[in-house]
Amino acid sequence: MPHHHLPMHSSIKGPSVWRPADFEKDTSWLHVLSNSQSAQLIDAARKWEGRDFRSIEQTEAQQSLNSLIPLANQIRSEVEGRGFVLVRGVPVEKMNAEQIKLAYWAMGLLLGQGLTQNAKADFLCPVTDMGVDFGYSGIKSQENVRGYQSKADLNYHCDPTDVVSLLCVRKALSGGKSSIVSTPAIYNEIVTNHPEHLPILLRGFHYDRKAEQWPNEASITERIPVFVRHKNRVSSRYARSYILGGAQKTQELTAAENAAIDCFDTIARRADMQLQMTFEPGDIQFVNNFTVVHGRTAYEDHADPSLRRFLWRLWLQFGDESPWGEESESMRWAFARFGNLGRSISEWQKLTAAENQSIAQAN
């Protein structure tokens, strides 16, 4: 009696299932910092100036930003439920570049642990145009480039951690519009109207590691399901460009696999599914990568490099007491933890020693 313990694939309900129409009058996802919270951020950042942001401990952040703790707790529960939050009013115009990093990192520490995001082990990653080409539909156009380094349109995707956060420092001259879609809402659409794609989406895909893995690790992940159904919820992982890159390194997607990801994208791109979110300088978006996909339109920048669109990105790991403690290993970590990616501060410090040792042994 196989699978008798698994829930049937039927529509789910709950706060993670939403449509943009639900937020026409509801702005509960928007939190504006008070003057005193904003002042506390500036004070803390000034006090920490000169320190490596990675040396700030969670307890220090809690002490220096105590007025933000109730908000952080609220954000955590909303990210676990509805799946997204926008915090407005971080005083980026009153802080220098170093203070902005310190303040943002410390806010992240109120929520969870920051993780490394690339082979360079950046804990705060600049999302800005570095002049690279990026494409998600043309398989050959990627060449291990990561989308955050380009000004290209970024198809709906999850970042590979529990939570991704973006702090807007400067906007583009035009474009660069952000929008998000509930993946449980996409799941419901597929269960109801396109169930023929479910087996393929549940089996999942190999993801490209874009040559950021250690020498002894595979260049692609194991298969990561697009949907994992739990009793009362569904979690998801999806990033088309990484799926296409993975297929390029293994074997081409079948027609049925292509049809399944096309179906996912077609639903995600529907106007009645996507919630538009314009980032203003000083906005921080928090998104639950298991229940929300995010996308961004292409943009044009100012000619002056000092005015160009610039966001800081933070990848956050929440504790195992969060619903994600239950996720399959493959869904929570296969696309997230390899090479220098997906490491907390303490794991990264240990790993760097191990890596140095393996490099020394090889020479």
Ligand X SMILES: O=C(O)CCC(=O)C(=O)O
> Could you list the residues that contact Fe ion (CB under 5 A)?
159
Do 223 and 205 touch, CB atoms closer than 8 A? Answer: yes
Interface with ligand X (CB under 6 A), residue total: 10
Nearer to ligand X, 94 or 269 (CB): 269
Residue 313 as a binder of ligand X (CB under 6 A): the answer is: yes
Compare residues 148 and 238 and give the one whose CB is closer to ligand X.
148
Q: Does 159 bind ligand X (CB under 6 A)?
A: yes
Among 95, 172, 277, 311, binds ligand X (CB under 6 A): 311
As measured in angstroms, the least distance from the Cβ of 326 to ligand X is 25
Question: Please, what is the minimum distance in Å from the beta carbon of residue 148 to ligand X?
Answer: 3
**Smallest distance from ligand X to CB 58, Å:** 24
Identify the residue among 127, 200, 224, 260 touching ligand X (CB under 6 A): 127
CB closer to ligand X out of 102 and 154: 154
Could you tell which of Fe ion, ligand X, none binds residue 178, using a CB distance below 5 to 8 A set by kind?
A: ligand X
Point out the residue whose Cβ comes nearest to ligand X: 148
40 or 265: CB nearest ligand X? 265
Nearer to ligand X, 210 or 294 (CB): 294
Is-contact 82 290, C-beta < 8 A? no
Select from 109, 104, 158, 106 the least CA-distant residue to 126.
Answer: 104
Site for ligand X in 266-305 (CB under 6 A): 294, 296
165-194: which residues touch ligand X (CB under 6 A)? 166, 178
- Pairwise CA distance, residues 208 & 220, whole Å: 5
Using rule CB under 6 A, residue 154 touches ligand X: yes
From the list ligand X, Fe ion, none, which binds 127 (C-beta under 5 to 8 Å, kind-based)?
ligand X
Instruction: Using CB under 6 A, pick the residue from 136, 148, 207, 318 that binds ligand X.
Output: 148
Q: Helix (H, G, I), strand (E, B), or coil: what is residue 265?
A: helix
Q: How many CB atoms lie within 10 A of CB 144?
A: 12
Name every residue whose Cβ is closer than 8 Å to that of residue 283 and which is 6 or more positions away in sequence. Answer: 86, 87, 88, 90, 167, 168
CA 59 vs CA 38, 103, 110, 244: distances in Å: 19, 14, 9, 42
Q: Is 316 in the site for ligand X (CB under 6 A)?
A: no
Q: Distance of CA 338 to CAs 37, 117, 218, 293, Å? A: 37, 10, 9, 22
Pick 45 or 90: Cβ nearer ligand X: 90
Q: How far is the CB of 89 from Fe ion (least distance, A)?
A: 23
Q: Which residue reads 């290993």 in tokens?
A: 329
| Cα–Cα distance, 107 to 141 (Å, whole number) | 36
Give the 3-state secondary structure of residue 99: helix
Coil, helix or strand at residue 239: strand
φ, ψ at 358 (rounded to 5°): -70, -35
Question: Parallel, antiparallel, or unpaired for β 205-208 and 220-224?
Answer: antiparallel
Q: How far is the CB of 356 from Fe ion (least distance, A)?
A: 30
Q: Which is nearer to ligand X, 298 or 345 (CB)?
A: 298
The binder of 313, among ligand X, Fe ion, none, by C-beta within 5 to 8 A per type, is ligand X
Pick the closest to residue 181 from 298, 289, 268, 81 (CA basis): 268
* The two structure tokens encoding residue 146: 């990561």
Q: Which is nearer to ligand X, 70 or 126 (CB)?
A: 126
**Spatial contact of 170 and 2, defined as CB atoms under 8 Å apart:** no
Q: List residues binding ligand X (CB under 6 A).
A: 127, 148, 154, 159, 166, 178, 294, 296, 311, 313
